[in-house]
Amino acid sequence: MTTQEALALDLTLDTKRGRRPRAGRFGLGSLILPVYSALALIFLLIPIVYTIVFSFNDAVKTNVSWRGFTLNNWLRVCDAPGVCQAFGNSILIGVIATLIATVLGTMIAIALARYRFRFRAATNLLIFLPMATPEVVLGAGLAAQFLSAGIPKGIGTVILAHSMFCLSFVIVTVKARVAGLDPSLEEAGRDLYGSPAQVFLRVTFPLLLPGILAAALLSFSLSFDDFIITYFNSGSLQTFPTYIYTAATRGIPPQANVIASAVFILAIVIVVTAQVAGEKRRKRLMKQTAGV
């Protein structure tokens, strides 16, 4: 019996006995993926760790070299000129742009998913264009349009620009949620003599709410993080990303690291809280189902 036949017989016997086949010898190939994943994770975490660590740096003029540990940066965040104002501008623009994009995007997503009308296919194609267009082209085009219309650049033009490119992401996200709804639930509401408004508010909207919230969070994060489109259309207005860009030439103040670290930690807390709440809700539903 050859070696190949012996291995095949051993594999057959293991399968018949319900045992997993024995793993091969430890080789270099089994190390490639774990090592590559670990290196990629470390590479992604280095800027985040650097930002958090240097938010505690006792910097004087520049925040490049470590000079000592201090909590003054966290206690006096607004000491750096313009950092809190830029952060407030980003929050204000992100909230308003998110509200506009979420309301309009939800209505457009329902119309595209539920109704048939002329140019529906063309509308679907046009929705993907802002997502596929490079930001530098989109920002320059919007800046040219505002200039041609005689609209002065400022917070209004930035809100309009952010609402426009966030709209596509909201439509795509909510449309996927609408397509996954069970039409029989809405039909049951109509069979119980519910008006169209009642069916929407009590049946459709609660079912769409997770998708709408996800779209709103995505929209806000895109708006808060955007630099290129904001840079073309902001004029003298500074948002947090543009403040970081201009401050990088003379040294980013540690207070900017504090705000960035706080935003990152808040996002992690929100995600962990949502995951824990969802797991508790799932376990509660499983217990109720088992009790029934």
For the chain, the structural domain boundaries read 88-245
Mean predicted lDDT score pLDDT of the chain: 85
CB 58 within 8 Å of CB 72: yes
- 11-15, 78-82, 137-141, 146-150: the lowest-pLDDT one: 11-15
Categorize the per-residue pLDDT at 242 as very low, low, confident or very high, splitting at 50, 70 and 90.
very high
CA-CA distance, 213 to 221, in Å (whole number)?
12
How much is the average pLDDT of 110-135?
A: 85
How much is the average pLDDT of 231-235?
A: 91
* Backbone phi, psi, residue 134, to 5°: -60, 145
The pLDDT value recorded for residue 202 is 86
Q: What percent of the chain has pLDDT over 90?
A: 36
Give me the sign of the Cα torsion angle 65, 71, 77, 78. Answer: negative
* The pLDDT of residue 93 is above 90: yes
The pLDDT value recorded for residue 163 is 93
User: How do residues 175-231 score in pLDDT, each as one tens digit?
Assistant: 988 888 887 888 888 878 788 888 888 888 888 988 899 999 999 999 999 999 999
Q: What percent of the chain has pLDDT over 70?
A: 89
Q: Which stretch, 28-32, 208-212, 280-284, has highest mean pLDDT?
A: 208-212
Map residue 10 onto helix, strand or coil. helix
**Does 145 or 12 have the greater pLDDT score?**
145
Other CB atoms closer than 10 Å to residue 207's CB: what's the count? Answer: 15
- Say whether domain 88-245 belongs to CATH 1.20.1250.20: no
* The pLDDT of residue 90 is above 80: yes
* The pLDDT of residue 19 is above 60: no
Categorize the per-residue pLDDT at 253 as very low, low, confident or very high, splitting at 50, 70 and 90.
confident
The pLDDT value recorded for residue 142 is 92
The pLDDT value recorded for residue 14 is 53
CA-CA distance, 214 to 172, in Å (whole number)?
11
Give me the sign of the Cα torsion angle 43, 48, 50, 53. Answer: negative
